Amino acid sequence: MLKKLSKIFRKSTPVVSNEPHIIKDGQHPLSPKQISAGARKVVEQLSSDGYEAFLVGGCVRDLMLGLKPKDFDVATDATPEQVNQLFKRSRIIGRRFQIVHVRMGPEIIEVTTFRAHHTDKKSSGNDSRRSSKGLLLRDNIFGSINEDASRRDFTMNALYYHPQDNSIYDYADGLPDIEQRLIHIIGNPADRYREDPVRMLRAVRFAAKLGFQIEDNTEAAITKVHQLLADIPSARLFDEVLKLLMHGHALSTFRLLRQYQLFGILFPATEAALANDPGYYLTFVEQALTNTDIRIRGDKRVTPAFLFAALLWPALKEQEKVFSQGDASPIYALHQAAGEVTTRQCQRVAIPRRFTLPMREIWELQLRLPRRAGSQAFRLMENKRFRAGYDFLLLREDAGEIESGLGDWWTQFQDADEDKRQTMADSVQQPKSKRRRKRRKPPAKNPVHD
């Protein structure tokens, strides 16, 4: 079907035209039944009130590819306030980019008002703001559907679907690009990245997720402007990093991010450590990402704390070297290094405390897991991070950081009955601890003044 569709098109440049290519009922594989009930209702309600409304973005793209959409987004010419008035259970969210969340039963549908370009005339007022580098600080200038199409990131994301007449409206030649499996930015690539550098991360995410190529010009501009990503607020980068790593293609995403020098902007200390790889850093990180992908594809839970613990492990190991000098104890070096690595990382990607605290516990368990004599092993198993710490240990063994053996011991210990556990714990030789760091002499209680 896609092959046939491409014959309808002649243009190959991603310029938005005023007249869309309309692919009518029967000429494409989509059907309204594939749209969630909530999204259909939102479109119907908006249309019956006289507004234009379409399904747009990832859901149309994914359905054309035969994939299950992650969510259904609606675009309309109704303003956020009008949408908010029309739907009882809705609220306006966001400042930089206002949208409306409409609740329909168990679903939340994102409704976005058509956006326009920021010409000087339209941009006066406080709903549009740009930084001196061209970054869009606010993007709330509303416009027509074709203006909206030109404001979207990639051609494949600028397809509008009308479930009522079962037609697709393609303003930017997105369908031929989908057919050629190309990620093609709309408009001038460097300008579009300058407006919003997160688009570079989105290009990588879609390339990894869909197995698409990034079109040459879209790709070349990344090399020129990749540094602009550092200007994005750390809280937004945290959201984007989660999206990059939690969609089941984290390994290929990581490789592409490194290829386009974006990884070093997101994780500067890890990228620097990878340059000093003692032989296992890269294997370790890639193995952690592979395991994450397997878990996500198997619908198993993945905790971001574990993921960040793994991604920052090379940075931690390098930083530990700095604090292990002299007679510092390993636990002292670990704590100091963990503090330093976490603080610096959060300046770039704001990982919330609910993830950094367990992440640091997973790291600390790496020092505690070898100390399992007597009752220690039993106590360790009670620790709420035990399972994550144990998985992390197995990863380190697999990557060749440490000799295997300890992981096996813990596997057997978990499988054993109480008696066997006791025998195992009794026969462990406690590893010798490194000399403690000298404590500073406490100040004299009654200092003598002369």
Give CA separation, 444 vs 219, 280, 448, 449, in Å: 66, 48, 9, 11
Closest C-alpha among 30, 296, 11, 34 to residue 304 = 296
Which one, 43 or 377, has the nearer CB to Mg ion?
43
Give the residue closest to ligand ATP by C-beta: 58
Q: How many residues bind ligand ATP (CB under 6 A)?
A: 11
Smallest gap from residue 187 Cβ to ligand ATP (A) = 10
Which one, 99 or 312, has the nearer CB to Mg ion?
99
Smallest gap from residue 177 Cβ to Mg ion (A) = 18
Which one, 186 or 273, has the nearer CB to ligand ATP?
186
Give me the catalytic one of 49, 71, 127, 398.
71
Which of the 8 DSSP states describes residue 214? E
Among 52, 71, 340, 391, binds Mg ion (CB under 5 A): 71
Q: Is 415 a catalytic residue?
A: no
Residue 314 touches which of ligand ATP, Mg ion, none (Cβ within 5-8 Å per kind): none
Which one, 148 or 401, has the nearer CB to Mg ion?
148
Among 198, 200, 237, 338, binds ligand ATP (CB under 6 A): 198
Which one, 157 or 342, has the nearer CB to ligand ATP?
157
Residue 198 touches which of Mg ion, ligand ATP, none (Cβ within 5-8 Å per kind): ligand ATP
Which of the 8 DSSP states describes residue 142? B
Smallest gap from residue 69 Cβ to Mg ion (A) = 7
Question: What's the CA gap between 395 and 155, in Å, rounded?
Answer: 40
Give me the catalytic one of 62, 77, 148, 153.
153
Q: Report CA dihedral (177, 179, 180, 184) to the nearest 10 degrees.
A: 20
Smallest gap from residue 128 Cβ to ligand ATP (A) = 15
- Residues numbered 81 to 140 that lie near Mg ion (CB under 5 A) are none
Q: Is 277 a catalytic residue?
A: no
Strands 159-162 and 167-170, sheet pairing: antiparallel
What tokens does 25 get? 């009922």
Exposure pattern of 371-381 as b/e (b: 16+ CB <10 Å)? Answer: ebeeebbeebe
What tokens does 318 get? 């390098």
Residue 170 touches which of ligand ATP, Mg ion, none (Cβ within 5-8 Å per kind): none
Question: What's the CA gap between 271 and 254, in Å, rounded?
Answer: 11
Question: What's the CA gap between 411 and 397, in Å, rounded?
Answer: 13
- Residues numbered 252 to 291 that lie near Mg ion (CB under 5 A) are none
Smallest gap from residue 72 Cβ to Mg ion (A) = 8
Burial class (CB in 10 A: 0-12, 13-18, 19+), 19: exposed
Question: What's the CA gap between 316 and 66, in Å, rounded?
Answer: 42
Burial class (CB in 10 A: 0-12, 13-18, 19+), 286: middle
The answer to whether 360 and 413 have CB atoms below 8 angstroms apart is no
Give the residue closest to Mg ion by C-beta: 58
Q: Is 25 a catalytic residue?
A: no
Annotate each residue in 22-61 with x if it binds ligand ATP (CB under 6 A) or - if it does not, as one string.
Answer: -----------------------------------xx---
The answer to whether 115 and 143 have CB atoms below 8 angstroms apart is yes
Among 38, 58, 163, 389, binds Mg ion (CB under 5 A): 58
Question: What's the CA gap between 245 and 292, in Å, rounded?
Answer: 8
Output the CA torsion sign for 421, 424, 429, 435: negative
Among 36, 155, 157, 356, binds ligand ATP (CB under 6 A): 157
Report if residue 189 touches Mg ion, rule: CB under 5 A.
no
Report if residue 152 touches ligand ATP, rule: CB under 6 A.
yes
Residue 111 touches which of ligand ATP, Mg ion, none (Cβ within 5-8 Å per kind): none
Residue 405 CA neighbour count, 13 Å, CB half = 5
Can you spell out the DSSP letters for 74-110?
EEESS-HHHHHHH-SSEEEE-SSS-EEEEEETTEEEE
Among 21, 194, 199, 372, binds ligand ATP (CB under 6 A): 199
**Phi, psi at residue 36, to the nearest 5°?**
-60, 150
Give me the catalytic one of 73, 77, 196, 293.
73
Report if residue 291 touches ligand ATP, rule: CB under 6 A.
no
- Residues numbered 65 to 124 that lie near ligand ATP (CB under 6 A) are 70-71, 73
Strands 99-104 and 213-214, sheet pairing: unpaired
Which one, 148 or 401, has the nearer CB to ligand ATP?
148
Report if residue 240 touches Mg ion, rule: CB under 5 A.
no
Report if residue 196 touches ligand ATP, rule: CB under 6 A.
yes
Which one, 67 or 220, has the nearer CB to ligand ATP?
67
Residues forming the site for ligand ATP (CB under 6 A)? 57-58, 70-71, 73, 152-153, 157, 196, 198-199
**Catalytic residue IDs:** 71, 73, 153
Residues forming the site for Mg ion (CB under 5 A)? 58, 71
